[in-house]
Amino acid sequence: MVSDTPKPVGRRERKKAATRQALADAALDLFLEHGYDQVSVRDVAEAADVSTTTLFKHFPSKEALVFDEDTDQQAALVAAVRERPAGRSLPAALLDHLLRTHLPTTADPGFPRYRQLILGTPVLREYGHRMWMRHEAALAEAIADEAGLLQDDPACAALAHFALEAVALTHGRDDPRTTLEAAFALLEHGWPGRTEGAGQGA
């Protein structure tokens, strides 16, 4: 368990991982210190003692340096839908999951600064949002399956899209929890139609 490597973890791959980690660490340090736009990729590469080309062999873009920890959120998202408690609606289950995973993350002391770096840098906020929205198709599929609807049902696509977009709504708000709950109240019960006196159809 100590010296044996059950899976062929090559010496080369270990050095590769070390270089990658050095790049990510150097990048985060420099970005937090001087600001994302004030640091060039050449600076990051130099701090990690590699060339810019090597940097781009490890990370597809400058923004990707910040989003190194790519935990599998998609599986958790789908699981929140599929393994929701009995009697819990789909929007409610999604709200529970998002409140659990996107609000209290502040166990790490350095996390607020990391979060502020992303939210305060437009290009990083965009990049993170785009990555987050990549789960839309998988989520829509799970929703459709759970609801017993067709794979490309527009309502399922809409719920998946809106549920993921809801977290973007909380950015820059003083009370993310209330915002998230209000958004999901809308998805769950609809807009309180105080103006219409007669409902149509169905």
**Footprint on this chain of its own copies (rule: CB under 8 A):** 87-92, 126, 130, 146-148, 153-155, 157-159, 161-162, 165-166, 168-169, 173, 175, 178-179, 181-183, 185-191, 193-200, 202
Question: Which CB atom, from 44 or from 163, has the smaller least distance to its own copies?
Answer: 163
User: DSSP E strands: which ranges in 28-123?
Assistant: none
* Residue recorded with tokens 């699981």: 79
How would you classify residue 4: left for phi > 0, otherwise alpha for psi between -120 and 50, otherwise beta? beta
**Closest Cα to residue 39, out of 25, 49, 27?**
27
CB of 120 to DNA, least distance (A): 16
Binds 162: which of DNA, its own copies, none (CB < 5-8 Å by kind): its own copies
Element (H, E) at 65: none
CB of 181 to its own copies, least distance (A): 8
Question: Which CB atom, from 48 or from 140, has the smaller least distance to its own copies?
Answer: 140
The rounded distance, in Å, linking the Cα atoms of 107 and 149 is 39
Note whether 81 and 143 are within 8 A (CB).
yes
147 binds DNA (CB under 7 A): no
Question: Which CB atom, from 115 or from 171, has the smaller least distance to its own copies?
Answer: 171
The rounded distance, in Å, linking the Cα atoms of 127 and 133 is 10
Binding-residue pattern over the window 41 to 70 for DNA, x denoting contact by CB under 7 A:
xx-------xxxxx-xx--xxxx-------
162 binds DNA (CB under 7 A): no
The rounded distance, in Å, linking the Cα atoms of 53 and 20 is 13
34 binds DNA (CB under 7 A): no
